[in-house]
Amino acid sequence: MAIQSLNLSRSFGSVMAVDNLNLDISRGELFALLGPNGSGKSTTINMLCCLLKPTRGTARIMGFDINRQPGSVKAVTGVSPQETTLSEHLSPLENLELMASLSNISRTRARQWSAGLVEIMGLGDRANDQVRKFSGGMKRRLSIAMALISDPAIVFLDEPTLGLDPQARRALWEYIASFKGDKTILLTTHYMEEADFLADRIGIIDAGKIAALGTSLDLKTQAVDTHTIVVNAWNLTMRALDSVRAKFENVKINGGCLSITGRQLDFKETVDYIHSTGAVIRSAYFKEPSLEEAYLKITGKELRG
């Protein structure tokens, strides 16, 4: 197991930020913690990478205890914090080589790895420019490269796309996805689509507790108890539409497209019934519930940035 937390807890005065968190994250897994600001995501990351001591409980990172072996934990982890910590007057290569020197990497190897990471992160044509001239997306990519410079087994990414425009965010997702399987990645985010796109598994954290845990599909299917069948058909007469409305409780019609929602919908039975009205079926499919629907069902609140 790459990451294992055992009743991990942290309070700030009377506020319990993380409350008896128990997680098991496998090697090579990309695990996302999804939740609003103040839910405990960043506090969890800070404890796991030994920047913050737990009030109680502990965690093991590649077998090392965060309370008793913080030096060993730091040696096998890389961190890209929510706030980028870059030297603005240095170039990407200089930033990476500086970070490598702090990890006791030889100068020759540091130069090789830095040059390779700059290319991987799409910064090769700006390798010698000062970071102060970079866009937000470029700085986030460099921050992730700096987390990777020591070739860690585990990478913590705390809100890696916070504040980026949709295009830059999507580009960064592609870079993060390229490391799946090779590195164990724990990513915190409050963007549902980010967790949905990237994660092998998702933990929804709310008020310091894990409210739900599983794959994106698990969360969607377990939390949402109604299903929607979308049928595209032609020759939908008024008589046919009246018949469909009488048969099914929740029917929406948009041109020749029917959306039928219910708790216990049988796909074949629904399609066969519509066909029996004289309509010609062009296509039909189950509409997958969204992660947002699952989140609202699980927590009862909106996901806020």
Residue 301 has pLDDT above 70, yes or no: no
- In order of 35, 77, 177, 300, the CA distances from 185 in angstroms are 17, 10, 10, 28
Task: Tell me the mean pLDDT in the region 136-165.
Answer: 93
Residue 162 has pLDDT above 90, yes or no: no
Give the range among 88-97, 124-133, 291-300 with minimum mean pLDDT: 291-300
Number of alpha carbons in the 13 Å side-chain half-sphere of residue 102: 11
Residue 305 has pLDDT above 80, yes or no: no
Which listed CATH number (3.30.470.10, 3.40.50.300, 3.90.550.10, 2.40.10.10) goes with 3-222?
3.40.50.300
Query: Computed from CA positions of residues 218, 172, 39, 14, in that sequence, does the dihedral angle turn out positive or negative?
Result: positive
Residue 208 has pLDDT above 50, yes or no: yes
Closest CA to 53 of 75, 68, 33, 36: 68
Helix (H) or strand (E) holding 186: strand 184-189
pLDDT at residue 223, rounded to an integer: 74
Largest CA distance in the chain: 79
Residue 287 has pLDDT above 60, yes or no: yes
- pLDDT confidence band for 12 (50 / 70 / 90): very high
Task: Tell me the mean pLDDT in the region 187-198.
Answer: 92
Helices 107-120 and 92-102, interaxial angle, to 10°? Answer: 130
What average pLDDT is seen over the chain?
Answer: 92
pLDDT at residue 297, rounded to an integer: 83
Residue 304 has pLDDT above 70, yes or no: no
Task: Tell me the mean pLDDT in the region 55-62.
Answer: 98
Secondary structure in 3-state letters for 212-248: EEECHHHHHHHHCCCEEEEEEEECCCHHHHHHHHHHC
* pLDDT above 90: percentage of residues in the chain: 74
- What's the CATH fold of domain 225-288? Alpha-Beta Plaits (3.30.70)
- pLDDT confidence band for 302 (50 / 70 / 90): low
Sorted by where each begins, the domain ranges of the chain are 3-222, 225-288
User: Which of the pair, 254 or 142, is modelled with greater confidence?
Assistant: 142
Give the range among 54-63, 147-156, 211-220, 223-232 with minimum mean pLDDT: 223-232
pTM for this predicted structure: 0.85
